[in-house]
A and B are shown apart, each in its own frame.
Chain A
C-alpha cells in the first residue's frame, strides 16, 4: 500500500545540480526506516523552477522542497515521512513577504503560470505511458481518428495556433498546405533542434512529456496523409533522445504507432534523427537536408517544405512546442484554446526565463502577458536589487525589449513592432551591469560561428559586422561604425538565403535602436558605461580608502600594483591587464573601476 509519493524533478538542470544522488539518499533512507514499500519515488520531467533544484515534492500534501542536497535529503524521509513534520528549512521562502511556501501553489513563480504545453511536465513520470494516458493522453488521437482530416485541420486552423518555433506562421495553414500538396509519400517532421543560447523549452517537453509530441505527430500524419514521421533532435540532448526513444517504443507497444492504429486502418511510425550540433539545422530547409543525410545547408523558399520537403516530397514541419499544443486543442476545442492569449496570438507561450532575475526557469504564460509580469511577478524581480535594463528575446535572431515596454503585452506581433522576435522562447533578462554592445556582440558572435557559410552576406557580412563590434568594444571604434554596421545589417537582412542570415543582424540593430548612446560612449568617449568591456576600463586605487593592506599587490599576477605596507598603493596602467582581481579582493572598496 502506497501512502506517499515523492516526485523528484529529473529535468536537465536538476540532474546537473545533483538529482541522482538526492534520489539515492532518499531510497536509502526509506529502506533504513523500513518504509520503502509505503513510499514511492517517481522521477518527473522539468518542474520549471530550475534554480530551486533539485526539487522534491511530497504527495499527497504537495509539499514543495527545494534545493535538496545529499546532506538534507534524509530529513524529508526522517522528519516528513516518518514523523509527519514538514522540513521547514527546505521550503521556499517568498523573498518579499518572507513567508514560507508549503506547496507550489503558494509560490508566485507557479501561480502566475498557465500550464498547457507543460501540462504533464513535472507531474507525471515521463517513462510511464500509462500516466500519460491517465492525464487524457492519446484520447486526442482517438478522437482525431474518428474525425476527417479536414475536420482536424479546421480545428487547428480555428484555434489560431501559430508556430512556436519563432516566426509564428499559422500552423493550420501549414497543415492544410501540406495536405493539399500533390506528391507522395508525405512526411511529418518535428523540429527539436533547439539551438538558441539559453533556450530549453523543447528539451524540457521532450524530456518531461515525450508522448505529447508523439501523439501530435500521429495526428498530424493522419491529417495530412503521411505514414512516416521524423523527430529531429540535437545530439546535445541525450536525455531527451533517450526518453523520446523509450516513449516511441512504448507507443509502438501500445499500438499508437505502427500498423492500423486504434483499429482505424491508419499506419504511422516515427524515426529519430540526431543532429550533429549545427545551429543552422534548426532552419527547416537545412534540417530536412540533414535528415536526408546531406550537409545541413538551407535552400531557398519557395518551394516551401509543404510543397517540396524531405526528398522533394510534401513535408509538414513543426517544432516541439507547437506539437505539444495539438492534443489539448483537439480534446477541448478551438474556443478553449483561444480562451487565453491575445486574439492574434492565442494560447500560451513557454519561456526559458534566464539572466538576472531572482527565479530562473521554465515558465508558461498566456500570450499577451507583459514583460513586467514575467520579470517581476514570476521572475521575482532583478537580483541583488539592481535595475532592470532590457530583456533579450529570440536569441541570436532577436533583439531587446527595454524598460519602456515593460507593460506591453507580449505576442508575436507586438515584439516584431519593436524590432525583435518572439523566437522559440528564450528570455534573457539583463540588468544595469550588462553592456548592450557586448550583449549584441555575443549574439552576433554566435551567428558568425553558426553560419553555414553558404551565402556571401551571412558568411562574410556577419564576420565583418563582428569585426566592427570587436573594435568598438576594444576602444577602436570609428565614428562611421554605427552607419557601417547599419549598412551591412540591411544588406545581410535583405540578401541572406535563410532565416538565420536574415535575422542575424537583429541583435545589433535592436541595440543600436534603443541604446545608441551606449555605442556612442564606446566609440566617442572610449567608455563602457556598464563597465564590462575590458579594454575600456581603468582600475585605479582611491587614496582616500586605501589602507595599504597589500592584498591587491599580492593578488596581482602581473605585478602592476606597487606600494608598501600601510602606504597607499598605486596601479601601473601600462602593466595592468584589467583582470579585475584587485577589485574583487579589496575589502575597503578602494579599487575604482571606471
Chain B
C-alpha cells in the first residue's frame, strides 16, 4: 500500500461486499418466499433480482424476502417499491421476468404493465 488511491480502491471494492449492510434509500424489492412461492420458483427469482441489480451496478435498492403475500396462484410474486412512487406487485415472476422488471422498472422507471397484479400498497 503506497498511496491514497490504492486505499480508495480497496474501500470501493470492499463496500460492494458490504453492500447488503448499507442502508438503501432509492427503493426495495420484496420477493415473496412462502411455501407456494418457493414451490413456484421464488428462490430463482430472488437470485435473479440480486444478480441483475449487481450487473446493472445498482446498489441503492434493497432486496428482501417476505412470507406469502396471499396471491398463491400467481406465484412467484414480487413487490417493487421505488422511492416516492406507489409500490407495484408483479405476479408470475420467473427468472426472465425478474430480470425484465429490474431493467424496465427499477432501472428504467417504467412499470412492466402486463405482469402487474396490483398497484399501491396491499
**Chain A in direct contact with chain B (Cβ < 8 angstroms):** yes
Residues of A that sit less than 8 Å from B by CB: 1-5, 7, 38, 59-61, 80-85, 123-124, 128, 130-131, 133-134, 136, 138-139, 142, 254-256, 262-263
Q: Which residue of A lies closest to B54 (CB)?
A: A1
Contact of B7 among A5, A59, A128, A133 (CB under 8 A): A133
Are A59 and B20 interface neighbours, CB within 8 A?
Answer: yes
Contact of A130 among B4, B14, B50, B66 (CB under 8 A): B14
B80 within 8 A of A: no
B81 within 8 A of A: no
Q: Which residues of A contact B24 (CB under 8 A)?
A: 60
- A256–B3 Cα gap in the complex (Å)? 11
Question: Which of A1, A80, A128 is packed against the most chain B CB atoms within 10 Å?
Answer: A1
Are A262 and B1 interface neighbours, CB within 8 A?
Answer: yes
Q: Which residues of A contact B4 (CB under 8 A)?
A: 139, 142, 262
Q: Which residue of B lies closest to A134 (CB)?
A: B14
Question: Which of A5, A60, A263 is packed against the most chain B CB atoms within 10 Å?
Answer: A60
In B12-57, the 8 Å CB interface with A consists of 13-15, 17-18, 20-21, 24, 31-35, 37-38, 46-47, 50-51, 54
Q: Which residue of A lies closest to B30 (CB)?
A: A84
Question: How close is B111's CB to chain A, nearest CB, in angstroms?
Answer: 23
Contact status of A3 and B33, CB under 8 A, knowing A130-B14, A133-B11, A262-B1:
no
Q: Which residue of B lies closest to A143 (CB)?
A: B4
Question: How close is A60's CB to chain B, nearest CB, in angstroms?
Answer: 5
- A2–B50 Cα gap in the complex (Å)? 8
- A3–B47 Cα gap in the complex (Å)? 7
Question: How close is A357's CB to chain B, nearest CB, in angstroms?
Answer: 29
Are A134 and B33 interface neighbours, CB within 8 A?
Answer: no
- A82–B43 Cα gap in the complex (Å)? 8
A to B contact number (C-beta, < 8 Å): 87
Are B63 and A3 interface neighbours, CB within 8 A?
Answer: yes
Question: How close is A61's CB to chain B, nearest CB, in angstroms?
Answer: 5
Q: Which residue of B lies closest to A146 (CB)?
A: B4
Contact of B11 among A2, A59, A136, A255 (CB under 8 A): A136
- A477–B18 Cα gap in the complex (Å)? 62
Q: Which residues of A contact B31 (CB under 8 A)?
A: 84
Secondary structure of the B side of the interface?
Answer: helix
Are A83 and B20 interface neighbours, CB within 8 A?
Answer: no
What's the tally of chain B residues with a CB closer than 8 Å to chain A?
33
Are A263 and B2 interface neighbours, CB within 8 A?
Answer: yes
Question: How close is A83's CB to chain B, nearest CB, in angstroms?
Answer: 5
Q: Which residue of A lies closest to B4 (CB)?
A: A142
- A4–B50 Cα gap in the complex (Å)? 10
Are A84 and B14 interface neighbours, CB within 8 A?
Answer: no
Question: How close is B98's CB to chain A, nearest CB, in angstroms?
Answer: 13
Nearest 10 Cβ contacts at the A-B interface: A84-B33, A84-B65, A134-B14, A255-B1, A85-B67, A130-B14, A59-B20, A263-B2, A254-B1, A5-B20
- A427–B64 Cα gap in the complex (Å)? 39
Q: Which residues of A contact B1 (CB under 8 A)?
A: 254-256, 262
Are A1 and B20 interface neighbours, CB within 8 A?
Answer: no
Q: Which residues of A contact B18 (CB under 8 A)?
A: 124, 131, 134
A/B interface sample: 26 pairs, CB < 8 A: A3-B46, A3-B50, A3-B63, A4-B20, A5-B20, A59-B20, A60-B20, A61-B64, A82-B33, A83-B35, A83-B38, A83-B65, A84-B32, A84-B33, A84-B66, A85-B67, A128-B14, A131-B18, A133-B11, A134-B11, A134-B15, A134-B18, A142-B7, A262-B1, A262-B2, A262-B7
Q: Which residue of B lies closest to A263 (CB)?
A: B2
Question: How close is A49's CB to chain B, nearest CB, in angstroms?
Answer: 18
Are A263 and B3 interface neighbours, CB within 8 A?
Answer: yes
Q: Which residues of B contact A123 (CB under 8 A)?
A: 21
- A245–B17 Cα gap in the complex (Å)? 24
Are B35 and A7 interface neighbours, CB within 8 A?
Answer: no
Q: Which residue of B lies closest to A129 (CB)?
A: B10
- A7–B18 Cα gap in the complex (Å)? 11
Contact status of A60 and B35, CB under 8 A, knowing A3-B46, A255-B2:
no
- A4–B17 Cα gap in the complex (Å)? 11
Question: How close is B30's CB to chain A, nearest CB, in angstroms?
Answer: 8
